[in-house]
């Protein structure tokens, strides 16, 4: 068995275009995994192997690669930067032990890097910071370090300083060892010399070194005392303290360089080995109760001697068949083993196991705790399922995915396309849990739901190119919701008498608005047996079943409390079915009386614009019914944060680029639901009625 302390499971995440994929390419080149580095702008990078990724120069799905550095095995996951694919970052963070946050030297902390940083904080993942693209115009390492402090509220621990700026950037100074690494112009990563620190940087290096040692020794009281008395700790002791502080998220070791020009990458890889935790040093994954989802108090101890516990975190379909990516937390998985999927209660046999090299495979016969591998051809496993030993059933903490906020209707152009589309969509939904599909029973249209316009745009593109299904695509639709605004006390009786036993159920109830995000809650305060207890679940089921279609425009209903306080029953004619029908009738009768109201999704929008266009951008957001929340000036432009209704944001990227001469950027994510203004609500309800009339 291999030594787990020599494993590093890391992810690379950042804002779009900060250089994540290029950084991954350089890591593969340096570790000898690839001989020719592919460039993103040529559409030839190793981890962006989907056609759509190569064309657009963006990463869509996270790709896993394994490589070796200094006798340590690195499992690296390159994640997407676009907000529409945040789910990929989220699920990757779930199975990683550490990460590298990449920031652009000129762009700094951009909107999406903030979201990803927040996710990593929630997942408590230890990180290094790599400030990339220091060879670009306007790149400023120290400015980015300030932004990390002020915008992210994080504590960067500066480990390297850049030598030269922009075109003159030639290398970096290792602050800890007081050495300068200078590269020549060949662009080859191995062509560097270790030199004396440039004379004009000596004072800076000493100041940062002192700051670094002070932060490091805070992790060890004995060393701190000795340091206060003037005794400098050894390099080994400093590294040990930095490792501990990094693992405890006290600070984030910060490096600089240019991945594209191959400068500074070796030091980042050394830092991954020196400072990021191995699988055994991270808090073990909690186990949960499969019924309630509550933690049981047990954990999946990272050890090859424990029973098997593993999590399927991603499913991908490619030319070799369905691949299920698995992170093994405990135990060993061997080819030919029979394992249990605790989510379905079914067993599966492990056929081919492979180690991933982006889209190449190396066959494996066994894998153990700490490994990230893929298994070919698993049948009933979905993202978030726990795979475990047949004799030791357990459930790992599941993943939580965001709800889609936008939908489009699609129909195949020809008859033969619908069967192909059904098979393809089945595979795509398994791969991406934030992508949902439903069929409109009345029109027969297929509704695709996703996280944003780009997300759905790429799904349609994959259907067309990968699966050969041509689609007619409708206009994007917003996922509205309905709720009520005032309490109502009401009564409803359902009776039906027709030969044989009849049906009878009478309920007296109160309906009132619930707390935000409370969903549907039901309670019963009936006393004296007027409605026998055995019928209460049927009444709750009746009300709950109606929550999917509101009375205004047929959208799902949010945040409603129903209290059953009295009623009546008939000894012969009352049944669960009768009371369920009564509850459904009661819902239809009382919702309009309770001040039904339409809610719309409000998006948290984060816009970056050059200074000379701030007025235009804010004016435009106001016209879109936006509420400006915050404005921050940076070196290269202004960040504007606002809450804007999703319905006003379609096609926004085009408008923003026109307004800012192509220099504006934005990201948005779902924030909350809020009441629609009357004129908007009327238009939505009228459109829904018209659509229903056509059906």
The pLDDT-based confidence of 619 (bands split at 50, 70, 90) is very high
Between residues 373 and 19, which one has the greater pLDDT? 373
**Whole-structure pTM over 0.75, yes or no?**
no
Of the chain, the percentage scoring pLDDT greater than 70 comes to 83
CATH assignment, 407-478 = 3.30.70.870
Q: Locate tokens 């056609």: which residue?
A: 51
pLDDT at position 489 is: 92
Between residues 654 and 565, which one has the greater pLDDT? 565
Burial (Cβ within 10 Å: 0-12, 13-18, ≥19) of residue 185: exposed
Provide the mean pLDDT of the chain: 79
Closest CA to 257 of 179, 153, 155, 174: 174
CATH assignment, 287-388 = 2.40.30.10
Q: Locate tokens 């085009």: which residue?
A: 654
* Cα–Cα distance, 574 to 568 (Å, whole number): 9
pLDDT(673) > 80: yes
| Structural contact between residues 492 and 569, judged by C-beta atoms closer than 8 angstroms | no
The pLDDT-based confidence of 253 (bands split at 50, 70, 90) is very high
pLDDT at position 620 is: 92
299-307 average pLDDT score: 79
CATH fourth-level superfamily of 4-281:
P-loop containing nucleotide triphosphate hydrolases (3.40.50.300)
Instruction: Tell me the torsion sign for CA atoms 654, 477, 677, 402.
Output: negative
Q: DSSP characters for 386-452?
A: EEE-TTS---BPPP--PPP-EEEEEEESSTTHHHHHHHHHHHHHHH-TT-EEEE-TTT--EEEEESS
* Cα–Cα distance, 218 to 215 (Å, whole number): 6
The secondary structure element, H or E, covering residue 50 is none
Between residues 441 and 588, which one has the greater pLDDT? 588
Closest CA to 509 of 496, 497, 521: 521
Of the candidate ranges 180-194, 349-363, 366-380, the one whose mean pLDDT is the lowest = 349-363
Evaluate whether the domain defined by 598-680 bears CATH number 1.10.10.1100: no
Bridge-based pairing of strands 346-349 and 406-412 is unpaired
- CA-to-CA dists, residue 39 to 10, 22, 61, 257, 261, angstroms: 22, 7, 17, 17, 11
* Cα–Cα distance, 101 to 151 (Å, whole number): 14
Of the candidate ranges 36-40, 186-190, 414-418, 423-427, the one whose mean pLDDT is the lowest = 36-40
Q: Domain 485-595, what architecture?
A: 2-Layer Sandwich (3.30)
How many C-beta atoms surround the C-beta of residue 679 within 10 A? 8
Domain boundaries defined on the chain: 4-281, 287-388, 407-478, 485-595, 598-680
pLDDT at position 37 is: 40
**Topology alike, domains 407-478 and 598-680:** yes
Between residues 496 and 361, which one has the greater pLDDT? 496
């Amino acid at each position: 068995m291999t030594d787990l302390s020599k494993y590093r499971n890391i992810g690379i995440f950042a804002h779009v275009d900060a250089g994540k994929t290029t950084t991954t390419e350089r890591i593969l080149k340096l570790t000898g995994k690839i001989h020719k580095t592919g460039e993103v702008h040529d559409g030839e990078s190793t981890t962006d192997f989907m056609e759509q990724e190569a064309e657009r120069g963006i990463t869509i799905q996270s790709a896993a690669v394994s490589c070796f550095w200094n006798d340590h095995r690195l499992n690296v996951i390159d994640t997407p930067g676009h907000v529409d694919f945040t789910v990929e970052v989220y699920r990757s963070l779930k199975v990683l032990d550490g990460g590298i946050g990449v920031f652009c030297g000129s762009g700094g902390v951009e909107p999406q890097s903030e979201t990803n940083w927040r996710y990593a904080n929630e997942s408590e993942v230890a990180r290094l910071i790599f400030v990339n693209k220091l060879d670009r115009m306007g790149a400023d390492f120290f400015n980015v370090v300030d932004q990390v402090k002020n915008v992210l509220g994080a504590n960067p621990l500066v480990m390297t300083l850049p030598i030269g700026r922009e075109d003159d950037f030639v290398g970096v100074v290792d602050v800890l060892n007081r050495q300068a690494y200078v590269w020549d112009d060949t662009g080859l990563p191995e062509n560097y010399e270790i030199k004396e620190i440039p004379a004009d940087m000596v004072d800076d290096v000493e100041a940062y070194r002192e700051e670094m040692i002070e932060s490091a020794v805070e992790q060890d009281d004995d060393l701190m005392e000795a340091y206060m008395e003037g005794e400098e700790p050894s390099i080994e002791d400093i590294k040990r303290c930095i490792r501990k502080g990094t693992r405890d998220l006290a600070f984030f070791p910060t490096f600089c360089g240019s991945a594209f020009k191959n400068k500074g990458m070796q030091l980042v890889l050394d830092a991954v080995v020196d400072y990021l935790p191995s699988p055994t040093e991270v808090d073990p994954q909690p186990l949960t109760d499969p019924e309630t989802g509550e933690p049981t108090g047990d954990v999946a101890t990272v050890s090859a001697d424990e029973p098997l516990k593993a999590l399927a975190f991603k499913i991908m379909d490619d030319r070799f068949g369905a691949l299920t990516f698995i992170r093994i937390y405990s135990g060993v998985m061997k080819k030919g083993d029979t394992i249990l999927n605790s989510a379905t209660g079914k067993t599966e046999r492990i056929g081919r196991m492979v180690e991933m090299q982006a889209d190449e495979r190396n066959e494996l016969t066994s894998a153990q705790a700490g490994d990230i591998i893929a298994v070919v051809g698993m049948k009933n496993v979905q993202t978030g399922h726990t795979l475990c030993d047949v004799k030791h059933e357990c459930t790992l903490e599941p993943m939580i995915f965001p709800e889609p906020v936008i939908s489009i209707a699609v129909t195949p152009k020809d008859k033969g396309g619908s069967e192909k589309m059904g098979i393809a969509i089945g595979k795509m939904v398994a791969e991406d849990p934030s992508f949902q599909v439903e069929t409109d029973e009345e029109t027969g249209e297929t509704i695709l739901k996703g996280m944003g316009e780009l997300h759905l745009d790429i799904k349609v593109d994959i259907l067309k190119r990968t699966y050969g299904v041509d689609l007619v695509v409708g206009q994007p639709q917003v996922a509205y919701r309905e709720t009520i605004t005032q309490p109502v006390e009401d009564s409803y009786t359902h009776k039906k008498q027709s030969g044989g036993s009849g049906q009878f159920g009478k309920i007296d109830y109160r309906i009132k608005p619930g707390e935000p995000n409370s969903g549907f809650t039901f309670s019963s305060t009936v006393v004296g047996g007027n409605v026998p207890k055995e019928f209460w679940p049927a009444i709750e089921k009746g009300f709950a079943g109606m929550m999917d279609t509101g009375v205004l425009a047929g959208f799902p209903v949010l945040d409603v409390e129903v209290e059953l306080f009295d009623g009546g029953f008939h000894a012969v004619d009352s049944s669960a079915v009768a009371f369920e029908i009564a509850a459904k009738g009661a819902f239809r009768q009382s919702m309009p009386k309770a001040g039904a109201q339409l809610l719309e999704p409000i998006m948290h929008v984060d816009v970056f614009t050059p200074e000379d266009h701030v007025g235009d951008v804010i004016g435009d957001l106001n016209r879109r019914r936006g509420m400006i929340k915050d404005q921050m000036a940076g070196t290269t432009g202004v960040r504007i944060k606002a809450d804007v209704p999703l319905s006003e944001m379609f096609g926004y990227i085009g408008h923003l680029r026109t307004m800012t001469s192509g220099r504006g950027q934005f990201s948005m994510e779902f924030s909350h639901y809020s009441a629609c203004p009357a004129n908007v609500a009327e238009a939505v309800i009228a459109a829904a009625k018209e659509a229903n009339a056509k059906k």
